[in-house]
Amino acid sequence: MVDVTECFLEKAQSFLGEERRRVENYFCCGLQDFNPEPNHYDVVWIQWVIGHLTDEHLAEFLKRCQKGLRPNGIIVIKDNVAYEGVILDDVDSSVCRELSVLHDVIEKAGLKIIMEEKQENFPDEIYHVYTVAMR
């Protein structure tokens, strides 16, 4: 588990209770600085954090994640997707990318999308949520 805030990692451990043993490591750093152990993971799950990375940092992070995969491993992103373009959130300085922009970053990282799914039954007034699996 990776988070930039130590207290979030601590809260995650207490929230997980006995299941916390299933998490091998807790890393306190930004994703732009995280280097997964090579050939170590079957799945890298990235959820609701890519908006805090620039396109370049995200592409480089995905490349490093690819090196961290075991054979037949996958990377999964689940995140908000803008209806059009790239939208800046002035409150937390994150961005929400249009799906085609996310596709471009994934391609720049040298990954291929193997599955993509839009979250159903969300209100129309909020962003779409997509899950994208790649390798």
- Domain limits of the chain? 1-34, 38-134
Residues 98/86, Cβ–Cβ less than 8 Å: yes
In total, the chain counts a number of residues equal to 135
Tell me what the pLDDT averaged over the chain comes to: 97
State the Cα–Cα distance between residues 119 and 122, nearest whole angstrom: 7
pLDDT digits (tens, 9 = 90+) for 6-65: 999 999 999 999 999 999 999 999 999 999 999 999 999 999 999 999 999 999 999 999
Could you tell me if 2 and 34 are in contact, meaning their C-beta atoms sit under 8 angstroms apart? yes
> Using one digit for the tens of pLDDT, what is the confidence trace for 1-16?
999 999 999 999 999 9
Distance CA 11, CA 30 (A): 17
**CATH 2.170.120.12 for domain 38-134:** no
Q: Is 39 left (phi over 0), alpha (psi -120 to 50) or beta?
A: left
| pLDDT for the residue numbered 116 | 98
